[in-house]
Amino acid sequence: MKSVDRCCGFAILAAIGYADAGKNVEQRAVIKMTGNEKTLIAAMSGGVDSSVAAALYLKLGFQVIGVTLKMKTCDNSREKTKSCCGLDDNIQARQVCEKLGITHRFISVREDFADKILKYALDEYQAGRTPNPCVLCNHYLKFGPVLERFAEETGASGIITGHYAVINRDIPEKARLFKGADSEKDQTYFLSALTQKQLNLCHMPLGELSKPEVREIAAKLGLPNAKKQESQDACFGYKGETFALTLCRHFNAQPHKGVFVDESGKIVGKHEGIEFFTIGQRKKLGIALGKPAYVTDIDAKTGRISVSTDPDRLLCDSFSANTMNWLDFEHDSLECEIQTRYRQALQPATVFRQGDKALVKLHKPLGAVTPGQRLAIYKDSQLLGGGWIEKSTS
């Protein structure tokens, strides 16, 4: 199939009478299906995005099988956030599948979620780094071997998701990932650990749509979650607790207490655990220096957190990243754009490829480049690769 992801959204808009569907629909609506290409798995989270994504392919004539991953096990004796155990989401996912008339299955990945995602996040906090569990969750679980095996068992040729990203398949056997049209919703940053094999299985029909358009499609299709409010919470947590504190409680881990020190090394306060702080943090430090203070360094071995009232001390000119996932980076070095956190404006830089590592030299200083966070590399909106930030230099 050639670039189905890029045309699917507009084709279905025309099919359901969406007012602004006149974007080369006459060409994009022609989808040829042969053999097992007719069957796809839809990763159903219970949200409106994954629901509409499944509906798009169903309306185009594909056989769609809905799958929801059960990841979390929570302590029912404590008050949870809405998203913690996903019970409401699971019910919603099943209701949507019933509305669409498609088969729905639950697959438990609780052990993998605890071992590969939650334990990783705790280990990162305890090492003085700030984890990004969503990136690993996409790699290991949402696009991982469990769904790949289920696809093989059901004869499905790929996996539909509701991510806001564009997959271009113009080059045979090579899926290229581009930023979504809705810059506020673009999710390529979180997809930067996906391998070429995983991308070849992916179908992301929402990439050229905006959130309001997706909600309008859901309403036109009569989906029960068309007006469902988006959750901004971590997928694992309790009301009034930070993600780090929830992890410490979950694994019975003792926070690494220590002290705050200023630029001269003078102790200016105590803290309850390095796990609860991140580079660049200004609020809730619990110290008074007469001016706003920023976390500039976290030493996991000593428990010392360095702070400064000078925000320029957060600036860096270059940094390195490890465990690189090179998707489409064929150069020893390249002038491109990078992101070091979600929704950050693209930053001009020169990236040097050094095996499974990258050296990034910024064209202008950047603040709060945080160890443990994700580096994503772009050129002309295409995601070229990603890796884990390890250290920066001023």
Q: Taking a C-beta distance cutoff of 8 angstroms, is the pair 238, 246 a contact?
A: yes
Which strand ranges, in their side-by-side order, compose the sheet holding 104-108? 104-108, 63-70, 39-43, 159-160, 202-203
Burial (CB count <10 Å: 0-12, 13-18, 19+), residue 12 = buried
Report residue 56: phi and psi, to 5°: -60, -50
User: Per the structure block, which two tokens stand in for 273?
Assistant: 């655990």
Identified catalytic residue from 235, 248, 316, 336: 235
Closest to 220 (Cα-Cα) out of 51, 7, 8, 64: 51
User: Per the structure block, which two tokens stand in for 135?
Assistant: 């990136």
3-state secondary structure 27-82: HHCCCCCCHHHHEEEEECCCCHHHHHHHHHHHHCCCEEEEEEEECCCCCCCCCECC
Q: For the chain, list the strands marked E by DSSP.
A: 39-43, 63-70, 104-108, 159-160, 165-171, 174-179, 202-203, 258-261, 267-271, 294-299, 304-308, 315-326, 333-339, 347-354, 357-367, 374-379, 382-393
Known catalytic residue: 137? yes
In sequence order, the β-bridge partners of residue 107 are: 69
Around Cβ 75, how many Cβ atoms within 10 Å? 12
Known catalytic residue: 8? no
Identified catalytic residue from 97, 134, 137, 202: 137
Residue 152 C-alpha from the chain's centroid: 25
Q: Which residues are catalytically annotated?
A: 137, 235
